[in-house]
Every structure is written in C-alpha cells, then in structure tokens.
Amino acid sequence: MSLRILIVEDEPIISDDIESTLLSNDYDVAGKAYSCTQALDMLLTRYPDLVLLDIAIKGDKDGINIATIIREKYHIPFIFLTSYSDKETLDRAKPTMPYGYIVKPFKDRDLLTAIEMGMYRFSSENNTVPIIKENIEQKNNVQLTKMEYSILILIWEGKSNKAISEALFISVNTVKTHVKNTFEKFGVRSRNELMALLR
C-alpha cells in the first residue's frame, strides 16, 4: 500500500487536480473532504498517513482548528495548502507546527517535494529507535522476508513507494505487494499504525 493522503480542500477543481497529481505519482488518496465536518469524519475512518489541509475550509472550523485537532488527537503530519500568506494567518498557523506550508497557486513539483520532505521530517522526529529484524519479529510474532524487512526500513525512514522502488530497483507494484503483505502480518491498516506499533 502507498502513502495514504487525505485531501481537505473545498474547491472541487483544485481537489481533483491534487488527487490526479497524487495518483499519477503512486500515492493513495484516503479521501477528499470539502468541509470541516467531512475532514473530521475522514480522519476518524480513513486512516490517512498525511493530510493536505486548506486553511479556508467550509464549516464552523477552519484548517488551523483542524490542524490543532490532528496534532493533539491523531499525531500524523499535515501540510497547509492555502491562498493566505499574510502575517496574521502565518502567526495562527505556526503553533500547529505544520510539516509544510504551500501557497496557492503551486506547481505539482512543489506539492510532491513538500510531501517527501514532510514525511521525512515526521519519520525522523518519531522513529529514533533502529529497527532490528529479530527484535520486531519476536515482539510481534511475525516472520518477514528479506525484501519485506528492507522495505520496512525504508518506510521507517519516511520513503514513498516510488522512492522505495528506486532505492531497491524493483517496480512500484512489487513494493505495494510487499507493503500490503507486511500490513497483513502486523494487522495494521496504514503506515502510521505500523510505525506506532514498531515504536
């Protein structure tokens, strides 16, 4: 399974464009939320690994309020996508400690770079213990193949499926198969659940 990304964006055209960019770069879209209510529901039910979060979202909460909830309750990385770069908005956004802040309009490359950098930073901050194959197999009562273990280390480092395929010289589909098998062995549904279990 690829990195699962939740898109919180109330402009359908922008949301569809982001989805297309993610899918064409081997990411999975956990869902597209068009309001704060949908976003909070999808956070609870879709198990995203990362959230792309518009600040000016429809509903009684804005993206900054949702970011605070994500940080306190879900402990997953999020990246702001916004038209606002004024000092007041930045001052409100900073305490939520986003893993990126992209000002619209943006290029696909800007988005993909922000995702890679954000996941790397999140992984570095949260995965300080090295993964030793024998220890995790014994602790979790699982048997990993050599390739599953290699992929697990790269997931631990915050790498996307595409980056893993390039590092190991295998296809993205092969990576997805190994990740799916690894999720099944550990009984998890997302990369963040897997990382939390290994910590």
Q: What is the pLDDT of residue 129?
A: 64
What's the pLDDT at 26?
87
Residues in the chain predicted with pLDDT less than 70, given as ranges, are 1, 127-129
Domain range summary for the chain, segments of one domain joined by +? 4-125, 133-198
> The domain 4-125 belongs to what CATH superfamily?
Response regulator (3.40.50.2300)
Do 133-198 and 4-125 have the same topology in CATH? no
Cα 109 to its chain centre, rounded Å, is: 17
Per CATH, which fold does 133-198 belong to?
A: Arc Repressor Mutant, subunit A (1.10.10)
What is the rounded distance in angstroms from the CA atom of residue 30 to the CA atom of residue 53?
Answer: 13
Output the pLDDT for position 125: 84
Beta strands in 34-97 (DSSP E): 50-54, 78-82
Residues 101 and 55: beta-carbon distance below 8 Å: no
Q: What is the pLDDT of residue 199?
A: 74
What is the rounded CA–CA span in Å between residue 5 and residue 114? Answer: 13
pLDDT of the residue at 127: 67
Identify the pLDDT of residue 61.
92
